[in-house]
Structure 1
């Protein structure tokens, strides 16, 4: 979720909670104020009626429907009770319905005799006023709050544009590009400082990457040259006729290790290039002809071990990656399957949907299966392997956003690459 959306949502939820509490408080305060006003009017009316009834020659109305009070005689010696205010319903003959009234029940003396005085006053107008105010004001505040939220969102979107532009530029930035990290100037001090920090950071990383890349390439080249010289001199010595077995054996060992060191140097350089994403081009690479074209390189092993090769690859299957990476991936998968195999075994390549599976017979691995994709981890003790093949496969899969897994069951190794 974007920062602007999350901030707006939090503000809106907080505003609605405050509005709900404020509306309840507003309703309670209005209701208390209105009831207090009505009760005060009833009390004043009580005083007026008491004065009126104690005037000489005044008749006592006890049940006149056109008056707002009623009198009911009380027995002599009745003990007066405090005034009682309450809500009540009074039947209106005109409307043929009950309406809400506010009632005061009290006791008064008229000519020295006790009477119960009941005064009523309609509270419909006050109730309507409370409801109107309690609904109108929160609605107005709600509209105001939503308007402020939308305005703040729009304003924040404008103010945060430099930040989003930096995110966009940062997403496109690559350490192997030749140009520096570019940003647009802004008048906001905080964003300007952030831009400067990002520019300095990316520039340092870009320079470090270029220095590391140049060092690796130079080191690989400088190592490859003396290795080639050593190898050529040893081959010349091995071709001399006067060389006996005791002299030839250590020379052959040196030649083998020199060749291994050369392959190791090339493999590590290749890993470095893949990890640095120097193979950025992505094109559809046909899978079936690529696999079929590699099989002749393993013809000797197929014949020596009497291996059976099974290919189940649809003709339209493609890998969307750099052509070099596709070739390296399949070469290492097939080489791993042929090298770690048994006599009269098989190698099976199967493609279903977006999954490439390479299976082969073989002995159980000597290391835990979760460590096979680490560098210099070997599934067997064969000396001719470097322990980098599956590490290269894993690196290619990671660069392309694929998943690669390994399983061993019932004497069968299974490597699965899930690609998109």
Structure 2
């Protein structure tokens, strides 16, 4: 939900609550004012009748005096102290042919030693009528509020939030590979200026850290390869000299360690490049052709290990990936299936437009399958493995928003990538 939409909804919810409370208060205020006005009219009528009685005018029974209807004046035999009583009553309405709510006032007045009961009544404004009037007014107000909120929210705010949307778009398009921070732009809103300055500082630091890290990784990898090459060459020369069996074994162990260290350096450098999104270009890669050609290229190595490879590869399965990453992904998967297999084991490869699945026989898994995708996580202590193959595969898969899973069913180990 967009910010302005959420703001308008919150505004309308608050408006409805306020109008509801206002309607409740308005109803009681209006009803109270109308009732009080009617009471004051009745009191005025009583006072006028009392004045006429004091002037000697004679009233008998129900009268209509000076256009005052619903007036009854009765002389009482006993003297009663002056008082006023107000209550609700029901009076028959000839036109509506039903009883209607009325307000009735009974007043006692003493004139020249005689007590009089003066009764008058009149129609009340019904609660339903007040409620309908209040609701109608509130609906008009709410309608105007909705129109105003929508107008302000979606017309005025388009100009108000334009700098924010522009900054957000620039953040979305920002990439470390460009090595350019997002420059701050001045706006007419202080909060947006603060945001733009923060974005500039943040991207400047990110670019600086990225450049430093990239240079360090490249330099470290390059500088490490030079002494490793020298050590490798010296060890090869050493093998050509006269060595005892024990000394020769030491040299072989050293050579294996040097090769492992060299592979480790190359793999870490590759992993860093992948995580820094240096392989951003993509091509339409025919994965079917790549898999078929690579399995043929490994025929001798497969035969040497006594393995059987079964393929179920659908023709012309294309993926949108960087060609180098595609080759690394498949090579690591296939080498992993060969390396961790058993004697006279099997490998099954299945490729469709929806998934790539490679399964190999092997020893039962002793650790959690999810941990194998972490760096330097190995199920067994193997001097030949550096523990980065599956981590590289996982990082490539994540970059293209594919999903990968690892399943172990007795002797079968299956890695599945869903496109």
TM-score in terms of structure 1 length: 0.87
* 2:222 partner SS: helix
Deviations 1:47-88 (A, max 9, x none): 3334445665724124889931235676x5587796333344
Contact 1:85/1:103 (CA < 8 Å) preserved in 2? yes
Contact 2:361/2:413 (CA < 8 Å) preserved in 1? yes
Contact 2:187/2:193 (CA < 8 Å) preserved in 1? yes
* 1:121 partner SS: strand
Aligned equivalent of 1:226:
227
Of the candidates 40, 45, 67, which is equivalent to residue 69 of structure 2?
67
Q: Tell whether 2:141 aligns with 1:141.
A: yes
Aligned equivalent of 1:91:
92
Count, aligned residues? 416
* 1:342 partner SS: coil
Aligned equivalent of 1:341:
341
Contact 1:106/1:117 (CA < 8 Å) preserved in 2? yes
**What is the rounded CA distance, in whole Å, between the counterparts of 1:417 and 1:237 in structure 2?**
46
Contact 2:184/2:199 (CA < 8 Å) preserved in 1? no
Contact 2:86/2:104 (CA < 8 Å) preserved in 1? yes
Structure 2 spans left out of the alignment, 5+ residues: none
Deviations 1:95-150 (A, max 9, x none): 5444443322344568866665431223359986x557634543453244334423
Q: Tell whether 2:261 aligns with 1:261.
A: yes
Q: Tell whether 2:21 aligns with 1:24.
A: no
Matches for 1:159-178 after TM superposition, within 5 Å: 159-178=160-179
**What is the rounded CA distance, in whole Å, between the counterparts of 1:127 and 1:385 in structure 2?**
86
Contact 1:71/1:118 (CA < 8 Å) preserved in 2? yes
Matches for 1:110-149 after TM superposition, within 5 Å: 116-124=117-125, 130=130, 134-135=134-135, 137-149=137-149
Deviations 1:289-322 (A, max 9, x none): 2211221343345324443322233224333221
Aligned equivalent of 1:187:
188
**What is the rounded CA distance, in whole Å, between the counterparts of 2:39 and 2:212 in structure 1?**
89
Contact 2:284/2:321 (CA < 8 Å) preserved in 1? yes
- How far the C-alpha of 1:21 sits from its partner, in A, is 0.6
**What is the rounded CA distance, in whole Å, between the counterparts of 2:91 and 2:224 in structure 1?**
108
**What is the rounded CA distance, in whole Å, between the counterparts of 1:126 and 1:79 in structure 2?**
35
- How far the C-alpha of 1:377 sits from its partner, in A, is 1.6
Contact 1:99/1:124 (CA < 8 Å) preserved in 2? no
**What is the rounded CA distance, in whole Å, between the counterparts of 1:88 and 1:351 in structure 2?**
89
Aligned equivalent of 1:379:
379
| 1:115–1:127 Cα change, 3 Å | farther
Q: Tell whether 2:2 aligns with 1:2.
A: yes
Stretch of structure 1 that moved more, 172-181 or 89-98: 89-98
Aligned equivalent of 1:414:
414
* 1:91 partner SS: strand
Stretch of structure 1 that moved more, 57-66 or 373-382: 57-66
Aligned equivalent of 2:318:
318
* 1:372 partner SS: helix
Contact 2:83/2:109 (CA < 8 Å) preserved in 1? no
**What is the rounded CA distance, in whole Å, between the counterparts of 2:215 and 2:360 in structure 1?**
39
- How far the C-alpha of 1:30 sits from its partner, in A, is 1.2
| 1:349–1:79 Cα change, 3 Å | farther
Deviations 1:154-193 (A, max 9, x none): 4333222212211110111112214332454323333223
Aligned equivalent of 1:390:
390
* 1:380 partner SS: coil
TM-score in terms of structure 2 length: 0.87
Contact 1:173/1:181 (CA < 8 Å) preserved in 2? yes
Q: Tell whether 2:42 aligns with 1:42.
A: yes
- How far the C-alpha of 1:209 sits from its partner, in A, is 1.0
**What is the rounded CA distance, in whole Å, between the counterparts of 1:351 and 1:69 in structure 2?**
101
Aligned equivalent of 2:359:
359
**What is the rounded CA distance, in whole Å, between the counterparts of 2:380 and 2:353 in structure 1?**
31
* RMSD over equivalenced CA pairs, Å: 3.1
| 1:328–1:124 Cα change, 3 Å | same
**What is the rounded CA distance, in whole Å, between the counterparts of 1:126 and 1:45 in structure 2?**
25
* 1:408 partner SS: strand
